[in-house]
Amino acid sequence: MELTVSLAQHTYTILIQKGALQTVGDWAAALWQPQKIVLVTDENVSSLYSEQVQNSLIAAGFHVTIAAVPAGETSKSLEMATWLYDTFAEAGLTRSDGVIILGGGVVGDLGAFAASTYMRGIHFLQIPTSLVAQVDSSIGGKTAVNTQTAKNLVGTFTQPDGVLIDPLVLNTLPLRRVREGIAEIIKTAAIADTTLWSQLADLKDEADLLRHSEAIIYACCEVKRRVVEQDPFDHQERLTLNFGHTIGHALENTAGYGEIAHGEGVALGMIQISRNAEKRGEITAGLTQQLTEMIQKFHLPTEHHLNKETLYQALTHDKKARGNQIKIILVPEIGRAIIQPIPLEMMRDYIEE
């Protein structure tokens, strides 16, 4: 399965195919001339796949250096980006060389950020290995690192030259990581795809979803492709992809990065903002229950106990804030999302129980 993302100044293809990782060298050689490459990964993924990928790339004519960062959200930092810059320089990367990113959302965001800012930007490819990255974060060109103030506060919009998705790598994921990817799939269905929502409703559990991973990943990528093409820089429609993320990111930050996983924060955020919007009569009655039942089905959290004022202070740094306003995303009915600007102070109403 293939999808093409067509933007005004850049076009690239998303390849979704079981077993595709075995042919990564041929895939990269079809996109790039032989050159120096730094393969950015994390220590967990590296132990599973980096040798295989490196050998395939070398056989295709590339010179490869592996840069493995510690696994986990805390690696998505300016300090780790600086370490990558030094690694790129030591590997002799010039503006004619590239970066290939092998890993989940943390490595995908970090590696792409480092590539997009090293020497004012060098090209890169994404090989996402987590479900979150395969259905969402590896596509669309958002790069970022976290700071102590907020998640994804520093970043760029820089598109990859290609994305290779091999659903078979999901078989090595811990169940918690599968579940947080499912949160992003639920989000995608809720905002834009009633057919996908029906498919999720028919699934028995996480294992059943993985059996249908190729088609489900394709459906999510198709939604994201369409939205990114219409709004590449996150000014309007692309914001709908952030359903659940405003509160979710604040939860991640407030709890301490890694304590609440990204997908867990998104699940909690979707429920909380919908619960309070439903109380205010802004969305269809019963919508929150639909979301809650779907989220519970895949064993994601539905309640949190973090301090509301601390949570509010964290979300005031959200990138959707403009001056004293913030744009929140609501789902009035399954398959449709709306963008609603509100005064920032009013966000308190959406984080009350």
The pair of three-digit structure tokens given for residue 218, joined into one six-digit string: 């394709």
* Sign of the CA dihedral running 185, 254, 271, 246: negative
262 is in an annotated binding site: yes
> Is 64 annotated to bind ligand?
no
- Confirm or deny that 76 is annotated as ligand binding: no
Helix (H) or strand (E) holding 215: helix 213-230
The number of helices, as runs of H, and strands, as runs of E, in the chain is 15, 12
Integer-rounded Cα Rg, in Å, for the chain is: 19
Tell me if 184 is assigned to a ligand binding site.
Answer: yes
Quick check: helix, strand or coil at residue 166? coil
Rounded to 5 degrees, φ, ψ at 213 are: -60, -40
Give the dihedral sign, CA 186/191/196/202: positive
Q: Exposed e or buried b for every residue in 70-96, given b needs 16+ CB within 10 A?
A: ebebebbbeebbebbbebbeebebeee
Please check whether residue 263 is in contact with residue 181, taking contact to mean a CB–CB distance below 8 angstroms: yes
**325-333/336-343 β-pairing:** antiparallel
| CA nearest to 295, candidates 258, 268, 332 | 268
Distance between alpha carbon 353 and the CA centroid of its chain, in Å?
28
The answer on whether 227 is annotated among ligand-binding residues is no
Tell me if 108 is assigned to a ligand binding site.
yes
Report the DSSP beta bridge partners of residue 28. none
- Whether residue 107 is annotated as binding a ligand: the answer is yes
Binding site annotation covers 106?
A: yes
Question: Which tokens is 145 given?
Answer: 């690192």
Query: What residues contact 337, with CB distance under 8 A and at least 6 apart?
Result: 190, 191, 192, 240, 243, 329, 330, 331
5 is known to lie in a ligand binding site:
no
245 is known to lie in a ligand binding site: yes
Handedness of CA 42, 45, 47, 52 (dihedral sign): negative
For residues 141 and 227, is the Cβ–Cβ distance under 8 A?
Answer: no
User: Which residues sit in the known binding site?
Assistant: 105-109, 129-130, 142, 151, 184, 245, 262
User: Which residues sit in the known binding site for Zn(2+)?
Assistant: 184, 245, 262
User: Which residues sit in the known binding site for NAD(+)?
Assistant: 105-109, 129-130, 142, 151
